[in-house]
Structure 1
Amino acid sequence: MRRMSKKQQINDNEESVLTKSMYTGFVGGVSFSLLASVMYYFNFLEVEPKSYLLTSWVSDAWTDTWLGIFFTTILAGVLSLLVAFVYYFIFKKIKHMWAGILYGLILWVLLFLLFRPIFDDIPAVMEWSVNTWVTTICLFILYGTFIGYSISYDYMESEKTKEEIKNS
């Protein structure tokens, strides 16, 4: 059996962290999209998640069925890969949970205030009820914390492993 060099072990370790970050992003997007759909079903949200991702561009009848929810959920997972990728390259070294909370708030502002004109199916933020305000902000804080803390934790563990490889 061929023994890997220390440099190759370190490179494999770094690639592993990026791969885990992408998995974290996809799982986070899918999970929180499903959670938002459940919140809409129980009237915590006034706007369905598929309004952001699907019905703003597709107006077919199938978007109102389970298939619309399915495609919205998968699309949220794919878009969340980009969110996780950005977090990985900018904030991965931050150890504190506050970075994820702030990241979630930044994502909320980007989606609902800055990019809102793109989504014509969504009412303006000022027209929302207090329930929708609180629910969406809390959901994005949870999402940002999940993405941020998971990626930062994996990165810190990777750094420990890298140090152990160098010392061995």
Structure 2
Amino acid sequence: MNKHAKVWSTRDTRSNDGGNNGSNSRSHGSSDKEGHTNPLTFCLSLGFFAGLIWGTFRGVAYWLKFTKLTPGLLADPFFQLSFLKTGWGYAVGIGVFIVFSMISALLYFALFGRIRGPHMGVVYGFLWWVVIFGFVGPALGMMDKLTMIGWNTLLTELCIFLLWGIFIGYTIAFEFTDEASREPFAFKMPKPS
């Protein structure tokens, strides 16, 4: 019996022992099987933290004047710009970026979930940057065209989206491929008792 309470986990620990409660299967010599990661909950939690971390980072970049675009850039079609420049506007912007990241993590898993390494994550972040800053943003009036924004804003936003893409892509690759075997010092987690 596990003496530690499990509050929340992305691992599916249900066994395929035909409905036994687990005590009989252990007594007959079968070994415990590792649970598999549930892709839906894993991608949603990954997207939540990707949006929280990199959305906050976008807010700090705006506050330090590295970018002219508010942290609530993706919420711009739904809220007034004067609201998005307030503290609550920052929070709404980060919240919208979290939802966007959760959807993007699910999409990444569906399209590129079996690709190893961080390279596809870089491409994924770049593709989202191109879509948002090259097409959707100017078309919806969220920002000026790429040629009018300015180099500081362009490079800051590009770097944030590249890092965001690496965060999502490499985390999914590490969890759902044998990416851990490529680590220089393979560390094996002990099985819980």
Q: Report the TM-score, using the length of structure 2 for normalisation.
A: 0.71
Kindly tell me the number of residue pairs found equivalent between the two proteins: 157
The aligned residue for residue 129 of structure 2 is: 108
1:6 to partner: Cα distance: 6.8
Question: Larger RCO: Structure 1 or Structure 2 (Cα < 8 Å, ≥ 6 residues apart)?
Answer: 1
Aligned-pair identity (%): 25
C-alpha RMSD of matched pairs (Å)? 2.9
| 1:86 and 2:107 are equivalent in the alignment | yes
Distance of aligned partners of 1:7 and 1:36 in 2 relative to their CA distance in 1, 3 Å threshold:
farther
Can you give the 5+ residue segments of structure 1 that lack an aligned partner in the other structure?
161-168
Can you give the 5+ residue segments of structure 2 that lack an aligned partner in the other structure?
2-13, 20-31, 182-193
- Highest CA radius of gyration, 1 or 2? 2
- Report 1:16-95 matches (<5 A): 17-50=39-72, 52-59=73-80, 62-95=83-116
* Cα deviations by residue, 1:109-140 (Å, 9 ceiling, x for unpaired): 11111212443141111112211121111111
Kindly indicate whether the alpha-carbon contact (under 8 Å) linking 2:51 and 2:98 is maintained by their aligned counterparts in 1.
yes
List structure 1 runs of 4+ shifted beyond 4 angstroms.
6-10
Q: Determine the C-alpha separation between the residues in 1 that align with 2:81 and 2:107.
A: 32
Kindly indicate whether the alpha-carbon contact (under 8 Å) linking 1:46 and 1:132 is maintained by their aligned counterparts in 2.
yes
> Comparing both structures, which one devotes a greater share of its residues to helix?
1
Q: Report the TM-score, using the length of structure 1 for normalisation.
A: 0.81
The aligned residue for residue 151 of structure 2 is: 130
The aligned residue for residue 166 of structure 1 is: none
- Report 1:145-160 matches (<5 A): 145-156=166-177
